[in-house]
Structure 1
């Protein structure tokens, strides 16, 4: 079951300009912990699932992995509107549901229970949610369904797979952490590594030190966050961004830094881990979400309570 509902996070009663809105698409199984409901759907079928949802309409579902991220996104919207009541570049969050609306009341009630400013719900009755992403100009798609994430990637939408876990997240800012290669940057260096090994990568990076790397799938979202950050002073910035990469600083860090400089993308803090585990630094940062393409790094993040978003590189 991948229960996904179209949801738009509004700030106050202000309508966001669809041409400037930063649209994030999410699934209900990412927003709420619906693993028990999902198991019921798999084991006993859709009718039992719907009956369960209807009989529990007034029982809120448990908080899911990305709910704190959505709260932080709403906080940024509020801060942007406090700064400029006419602000157009605001977040929208769209949650698409492959189930019918019959069992959707519990999702709506749960959204209201958590105080999320949501006004639009769309139930797709088995249709692939990825086909609706371009029509909403989605800039980020977070789902608990692997096939939905892969289908979104094939359509050029930055997408990541979310799995439920216990999370520790900071609250004072929206904190977003990115891996480098195959996430912020293209997979160019990873491909060289597979073909020529570490020595080949070091020489490759040295030869192309002044040539910017290609764009990774999450460059667009990182750039949007960078644009939002420019609207605030450093002391009053509600957004904090991080680069947490396996690259070493001395051999592979210079090209990464020069690429960010060429893009005009300022990252608040950058960590060149030289292949060391990322979990310890993530446990200190406590981001609302961490994007990485390596399953080992995802496991390490999950182990320290970091909401980990797997960016799959295996989608064909």
Structure 2
């Protein structure tokens, strides 16, 4: 009987997002692929340190121990070839991570394989791979360096935070703000307050998380979500009505009106925060793991850039 991942939350993560491979990536960039391959083979028995996405992955996999059904599947999506991958698998085994599936593309792009595995979320340090995933309609983020270790008692409840416009929602309203200013944005949102916002690249992921939350007793839900947005009154009404129309659960909402997001995110204790703007994602990465969503609508608008290259 064929195995299916249809009922799982499927997370694809690159090896450099899961583990700290900055040194190895520097060798790749400065000395080339052959030097990188030689280094990895010579050090393949050495365990890699956790990377920015490690705590999130560990917490997500813990959900499987809390349920009779398998709720989460994590797979490695890597530009490594098979010959340079043993160190990655040895490190996975060392940390006891229940990860058994992998795509090792040997330098080729990874977005083409997301549909085959039904990936709900893709995390990588490679901007090209993430942009290709977003363009193909998948939730994806360019993860920023973050090395803080979470104690195991902080991994019992997963905390995921999202920006609103161009992440959970489309950039429809953000375009009004960028092109016509704050006053026009406020007036547009007031006029359309009862019209749900179009879905953004992470809308379906939020719906999947909401479905997982509903599978647990109300007082034992191990997933907590937050909306952390620069919106404030009166622009919050449309957001609230949109979430209600989607019939999704959002546990906490912060309408900051331009106040820096990182302090709220630190108090929330996010295991990951998704934002389309570099200024917010990079600032947040100082206190919590963060990823930038390089959303580009049909109108060509996108968040800020962040250079990245990744062999892993």
Q: Scaled by the length of structure 2, what TM-score is found?
A: 0.90
Q: Deviations over 1:114-154 (max 9, x none)?
A: 11012223321122111111111111110010000011111
Provide closer, same or farther for how the CA distance between residues 133 and 52 of structure 1 changes in structure 2, counting only shifts above 3 A: same
**Structure 2 gaps, min length 5:** 301-312
Provide the rounded CA distance (Å) in 1 between the counterparts of 2:116 and 2:162: 26
Matched, 1:183 2:170: no
Matched, 1:163 2:147: no
**How many angstroms does 1:58 deviate by?**
1.3
Matched, 1:28 2:21: no
Alignment length, in residue pairs? 294
* C-alpha contact (below 8 Å) 2:73/2:99 kept by paired residues: no
1:300 to 278, 283, 293: 283
Equivalent residue for 1:12? none
Matched, 1:313 2:295: yes
Equivalent residue for 1:280? 263
Equivalent residue for 2:214? 230
Equivalent residue for 1:63? 50
**Structure 1 gaps, min length 5:** 1-14, 82-86
Q: Deviations over 1:237-280 (max 9, x none)?
A: 110010111000x2111110011011101111111101110111
Provide the rounded CA distance (Å) in 2 between the counterparts of 1:203 and 1:167: 42
Equivalent residue for 2:242? 259
Instruction: Output the aligned Cα RMSD.
Output: 1.6
Equivalent residue for 1:42? 29
**How many angstroms does 1:214 deviate by?**
0.5
For residues 139-154 of structure 1, the aligned pairs below 5 Å read 139-154=120-135
For residues 196-275 of structure 1, the aligned pairs below 5 Å read 196-248=180-232, 250-275=233-258
**Deviation larger for 35-44 or 93-102:** 93-102
**Deviation larger for 25-34 or 46-55:** 46-55
Q: Deviations over 1:186-240 (max 9, x none)?
A: 1011011112211111111111111100001101011101001111222111100
